[in-house]
Chains A and B, each alone.
Chain A
Amino acid sequence: MVTITVKNKIQKRDLPKLLSEWSSEFTIYVPSQNGVTGWAQWNGKDTDFMDWYRNTNIPPKSIFLPLIEKLFSFHRDKDGYHIEIPPLDVERKLIFGIRPCDARALSLLDMNFCNACEDPYYLAKRKGAVLVGLTCTKPYDSCFCTSLGISPSDSSCVDLLLTDIGDDFLVEATTDKGRNLLNSNILSKAVKYDEIKAKAHKEEVYRQVTRQVNVDNIQDRLFRYFENEEYWSRLSQKCVSCGICTMLCPTCYCFDINDKIIKNNGERFRNWDSCAFPIYTKMPMENPRLEKWRRLRQKICHKYEFYPMTFGVIACTGCGRCIRLCPVKWDIALVINNLPNIVKYEHGK
């Protein structure tokens, strides 16, 4: 497959103009800082959000799988129950400034919500969405995307990629959706020198991701250690079973379903859940993972063993949120690295 990459540039100070143009067709989401860094609709004016040069604590999955989502409302009268399903959220969203790791995370969520089973609520929001990525400017010391085959300037999961080259952003379109965004006279053609500057910047940030995680034979290594209770118990000792690492993980998608009922009226919501909680899955039955070590093992194995088994890809993007934001600084990278590297025996060889 030949990918035609169109290269343009835009002056940073012209960014509000460009966003305004795009907003005639899209609802624009940008990084926000309301007490905590996350995502919010663009206010239509300034680009203060660009001052925040690091990735957000709340991942952009929150736009497609919101913390709280109303599924339907219902009421009861003498004729029984009546359900009212709200219209699907089909506004076209443009996510501006998404990092390559988080864009990849959305493609991983797609495997679950689009391929494995079709989730209309997620699909409606995701289908028309356009991702305008931003090459990282300053990766965190907890970042390890490069170990998972993602680079801080990866354009494979975005429609458009912006790279900081001083007074301008180099703009690269990799999909038709992205190319359609370039019909603006605010953009100008990038010259060779811009591309050189962008390349240097990309190489520099790639070097800044210094944390390494050994994912060689990871499925096999985890499989062989699955029953090792002593290993998992030791690892999980300091975990306090809170939901930070899972809820703020860009690839975790577990949700719980709850009803809010007042007299004869009610609403059904779904909200983020976590496999770290002892009461996880208590509602339908029991939690098969009563001990902490089983729950922690589940988190690791789901990402590094079961996802590859089902979809052929590791469900971790190395964003490092689970390390950086952990109350006890539990480090997934150390766990993966400390699993002995067992040589894989391939059948028939």
Chain B
Amino acid sequence: MNYPIEEKEEMLVIRLNGEIDLEKAPLLREALLEALDRGYPLLVEMSKVVYIDSSGIASLVEALQNARKKNLELTLISPSPRVRRVLELARLDKVFTIRTEMGNFTP
């Protein structure tokens, strides 16, 4: 399963879904880094993620570091309770910018 990327108003949205574990994490990592290569701020929509673990979190962390290097913003949008719980366990809930809404971005 791929993670669709949408482009709008100088911004990119990537929609994550399903279960992100060691099987899917490499795909996620690639998708995030490719999106950042386009040079736009990135919104990572996570409301449909039903499972994520350290391998998925590692992909997000790597993407965040990459975005900072490129001086781009990376925002997690509407993470599901499961994602929030794992971010809290990892003490990363304060590290990522998390928003519950897409803001002015409407698909």
Chains A and B belong together in one complex: no
Interface residues, chain B, CB within 8 Å of chain A?
none
Interface residues, chain A, CB within 8 Å of chain B?
none
